[in-house]
Amino acid sequence: MKGPLFYSKILLFGEYGIIKDSKGLSIPYNFFKGALKTDSQLSREAKDSNSSLKNFANHLAEIQSEDLVQFDIVALQKDIEEGMYFDSSIPQGYGIGSSGALVAAIYDKYASDKITVLENLTREKLLKLKTIFGKMESFFHGKSSGLDPLNSYLSLPILINSHDNIESTSLPSQNKEGKGAVFLLDSGMTGETAPMVQIFMEQMKQEGFRNMLKDKFIKHTDACVEHFLNGDIKSLFGHVKQLSHVVLDNFKPMIPKQFHTLWKKGIETNDYYLKLCGSGGGGYILGFTEDIDKAKKSLQGHKLEVVYNF
């Protein structure tokens, strides 16, 4: 049995900011994917996934009582008993939506009266899906916006205008010959969402941090989203540089220590600018460059993966 495929996602802009109503832009990333499979002989990873699904099924049974969504829990539990697991190439703890893809796959297969990609996706429907997915994914992260599963489920770029205003969008077409690029930089270590969000929430108690978030972080994030969608690359890079600076100054705990110098080097040389991919603490780091060859040279010894060309 091979279920439909669900892809990883990249939140290009909006990490942490969307908690406080900044804009955000999330895109599917088809390089990594996952699907529900059943096997009587399970490998060690598949066994782990299968036992995690058992606990997840209990969580889904609990959230059904809130009348937001109904699942065929009996069928789900039967399939889990028969050896169902989530077969995924999406690295966990890398900020590209491994749990989101799993949530999307389970909703797709077991939700009753599900909202599908084929219908007219009004704002109400998108928000309802996002709420359902947030409740489902909270099993993995404690608190979830529901955006990762939404992206994975729809496989469309999602523009977040504010907390309760989201829409699917289209991206400017890529210039495959272009030197400019968005890339992923592998930090070589995993990060955990919950502790990072905890640090952020602690910092939000300080007035200075709240002001910085509003006056700098959200201002540059919103501008980046606008310029990216309008294809205004020159203005985009000006704001990405500022954003990279703000993150280095104010989100140090979310940046793995050995990348502080590399982060600074990008801002000083203009060869590339780095930003958080998801909650940080490890996993992937997002990079933007106007000249990918220059960035590769500057970041020699690191693995770069291009996800979008300008």
pLDDT of res. 2: 60
The pair of three-digit structure tokens given for residue 298, joined into one six-digit string: 């500057």
Q: List the one residue out of 111, 93, 92 whose CA is nearest residue 34.
A: 92
Going from the C-alpha of 255 to that of each of 250, 272, 285, the distances in angstroms are 10, 16, 9
CB-CB contact of 224 with 236 (8 Å): yes
C-alpha dist (Å) from residue 170 to 48, 114, 260: 37, 24, 34
Same fold, 6-168 and 181-309: no
What number does CATH give the domain 6-168? 3.30.230
Q: What is the pLDDT at residue 85?
A: 96
Domain boundaries, the chain: 6-168, 181-309
Q: What is the pLDDT along the chain (310 residues), one digit of tens a residue?
A: 467 999 999 999 999 888 888 999 999 999 999 999 998 899 999 999 999 999 999 999 999 888 899 999 999 999 999 999 999 999 988 889 899 999 999 999 999 999 998 888 888 999 999 999 999 999 987 778 889 999 999 999 999 998 889 999 999 989 888 899 999 999 999 888 888 888 999 999 999 999 999 999 999 999 999 999 999 999 999 999 999 999 999 999 999 999 999 999 999 999 999 999 988 999 999 999 999 999 999 999 998 999 999 9
Separation between Cα atoms, residue 260 and residue 180, nearest integer Å? 23
| pLDDT at 193 (0 to 100) | 83
Look up residue 150 and give its amino acid. Answer: L
pLDDT at residue number 276: 94
Predicted TM-score of the model (pTM): 0.90
* pLDDT value for 1: 45
Q: Supply the angle between the helices 44-63 and 98-110 in degrees, to the nearest 10.
A: 60
**181-309: CATH, from 3.30.70.890, 3.40.630.30, 3.40.50.300, 3.40.50.2300:** 3.30.70.890
